[in-house]
């Protein structure tokens, strides 16, 4: 599976509103495979399709508990708030303190086309919100209270 080029802040695709996936076909499944490969090879915990130049609502996440694939994800419930440090493969070398919901529930389709709901807190909740923001053209540096290097 090929590793894809990760687009960096300033690339127009990162500012676009990603389109919903209409049909989960072989191309979409292949793209999910390549996104996971790209995320792992870059040592990331999440990657959204716009980051590899594809403006579709697709996300992969692995915070150390195995791969999570989300197709057309939406946050359907949220609770609390928590500040934490974030980075992004599209903004290399920069980190920021971002306030996020402490717990979120995400609804999405899996690659079989089945609706799934995942409840996440801590790093997983943060990853859900960070990656879903990518689908809205939002980067964490626009939300961060403070930004620092390395
Ligand atoms: Ni990111």
Q: Render pLDDT for 102-149 as a digit per residue (tens, 0 to 9).
A: 999 999 999 999 999 999 999 999 999 999 999 999 999 999 999 999
* 44-71 tens-digit pLDDT: 999 999 999 999 999 999 999 999 999 9
CATH class of the structural domain 12-149: alpha beta
Under a CB-based contact definition with an 8 Å cutoff, are residues 95 and 79 in contact?
no
Q: Annotated catalytic, 131?
A: yes
Q: Is the pTM of this model over 0.85?
A: yes
pLDDT tens per residue, range 6-39 = 999 999 999 999 999 999 999 999 999 999 999 9
Spatial distance between the Cα atoms of 70 and 48, rounded to a whole number of angstroms: 9
**Considering 16, 86, 131, 142, which one is annotated as catalytic?**
131
Domain boundaries, the chain: 12-149
47: CA distance to ligand 1 center in Å? 6
User: Does residue 1 carry a pLDDT above 80?
Assistant: no
Q: CA-to-CA distance for 27 and 71, rounded, in angstroms? A: 13
Identify the CA nearest to 98 among candidates 119, 78, 125: 125
């Amino acid at each position: 599976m090929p590793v894809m080029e990760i687009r960096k802040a300033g690339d127009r695709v990162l500012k676009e509103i990603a389109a919903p996936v209409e049909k989960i076909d072989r191309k979409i499944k292949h793209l999910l495979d390549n996104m996971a490969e790209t995320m792992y090879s870059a040592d990331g915990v999440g990657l959204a399709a716009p980051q590899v130049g594809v403006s579709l609502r697709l996300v992969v996440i692995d915070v150390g508990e195995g791969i999570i694939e989300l197709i057309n994800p939406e946050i359907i419930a949220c609770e609390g708030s928590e500040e934490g440090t974030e980075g992004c493969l599209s903004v290399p070398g920069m980190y920021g303190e971002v306030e996020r919901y402490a717990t979120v529930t995400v609804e999405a389709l899996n690659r079989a086309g089945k609706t799934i709901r995942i409840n996440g807190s801590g790093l997983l909740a943060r990853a859900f919100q960070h990656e879903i923001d990518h689908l809205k053209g939002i980067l964490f540096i626009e939300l961060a209270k403070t930004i620092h290097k390395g």
